[in-house]
Amino acid sequence: MTDIVDELKWRGVIALSTDEDALRKALADGPVTFYCGFDPTAASLHVGHLVQVLTMRRLQQAGLRPLALVGGATGQIGDPRPTAERTLNDPETVANWVNRLRAQIQPFLSFEGDNAAVMVNNLDWTAGMSAIEFLRDIGKHFRVNKMLTKDSVARRLQSEEGISYTEFSYQLLQGMDFLELYRRHGCTLQQGGSDQWGNLTAGLDLIHRLEPHAQVHALATPLMTKSDGTKFGKTEGGAVWLDAEMTTPYAFYQFWLNADDRDISTYMRILSFKSRAELEELEKQTEERPQARAAQRALAEELTTLVHGAEQTAAVIAASRALFGQGELAELDAATLAAALSEVPHVQVSQLGAVVDLFAEVGLVASKSAARRTVKEGGAYVNNVKVATEDAVPAKEDLLHGRWLVLRRGKKNLAAVEVTGA
């Protein structure tokens, strides 16, 4: 198990950790139980959570025992954001989201064998606790001056918004989680993001105060960033979710396929389960032939399969190829086609018109005259069929699933027309 530390360091998964030598010794001495927490502040996890979920999977494969905590209690409070207070969700909504997140996390972990994973909920040890008990048993062991130095708190104190006592107390709740899991499950390692470091160490401090002989550790993963300055996990349409109804498998696949060459090596090392040799070969291919996007394709396929399954991934790849003339559009199911076309420029029309009109309306060309030139030069396609004449009008029978036309200018410029009155 000690090899996992070197593996994580090579992959760039460790941003911060407590005493590394002590952690290595703990791993060498015997099985280690660790936990990672996820707050249900939305109906789904997003791709940013994959860093934690996949690190849990990696640690379990190395022999550690994972506790996956979905916070039915902390989800009702919310970790302080850098700029403003969170909107508090009602308990029923949070309980529903707890179940949704648990269902998303479970497929990544094994719940059998000597190091079988366990799902836990911090509402189990907070629901019956009174405010007096919480203040006496937990709050007594926290020092306000130290709490004020935590990054999330310090940033909010410097903002106009300030911070409520509710969010200020979040680190007490997370600290209590580590203590309870230490006592209930023998958990000695907490994993989380580097932005959570203050909360991670709060748990360590609490355990050291109440269980002075305990040997406990914390490990933080780096925050994923994008070289172009935009936030990782965000697109023009918003967050990239793991839930297929909130972000389609096609859009999920495309997010990774479109990763910047400057970022793909970092993403691969942190998120992929390919071997070091395989990753180094993909990095070499990216350097030598970036236009082939070999690393992006490999990561997109791997992560889409992990999150959505092999069948959905195959459908997504088929759709991606078919849109660019490398497969049969008619063979795509309606849901996959609709998801794929929602990611390209598209317009709705009530009835079919001339191809040149459609090309101009959807924005593939600047004008009808430009559309005519495109047709004349042999660069206009409808459903991957080259448009032969400038006055061509698609037939009703050309509509895919009775609804869609796929327009393409040249090899790479795609758009779609949805006919609503057909």
Half-sphere exposure of 353 (CA within 13 A, CB side): 15
Residue from 178, 212, 181, 188 nearest 29 by CA: 188
Give the residues across from 413 on adjacent strands: 409
Is residue 69 within 8 A of residue 36, CB to CB? The reply is yes
Contacts 24+ apart (CB under 8 A), 137-142: 138/172, 138/175, 138/176, 138/179, 138/206, 139/169, 139/172, 141/205, 141/206, 141/209, 141/210, 142/171, 142/172, 142/175, 142/202, 142/205, 142/206
Pairing assessment for the beta strands 187-193 and 33-38 based on DSSP bridges: parallel
Residue from 13, 4, 234, 33 nearest 118 by CA: 33
Is residue 261 within 8 A of residue 251, CB to CB? The reply is no
Residue from 218, 263, 269, 274 nearest 10 by CA: 269
Residue positions in the annotated binding site for L-tyrosine? 35, 170, 174
Give CA–CA dist 252/237, Å, rounded: 12
Give CA–CA dist 303/46, Å, rounded: 13
CA dihedral sign of residues 81, 85, 87, 88: positive
Q: Sort 368 into a burial class: Cβ within 10 Å, 0-12 / 13-18 / 19+.
A: middle
Give CA–CA dist 304/41, Å, rounded: 23
Residue from 251, 382, 259, 272 nearest 319 by CA: 251
Residue positions in the annotated binding site for ATP? 234
Enter the tokens of residue 244: 């297929």
Give CA–CA dist 329/326, Å, rounded: 9
Q: Sort 343 into a burial class: Cβ within 10 Å, 0-12 / 13-18 / 19+.
A: buried
Residue positions in the annotated binding site? 35, 170, 174, 234
Q: DSSP letter string over 361-407? A: HHTSSSSHHHHHHHHHTT-EEETTEE---TT----GGGSBTTTEEEE
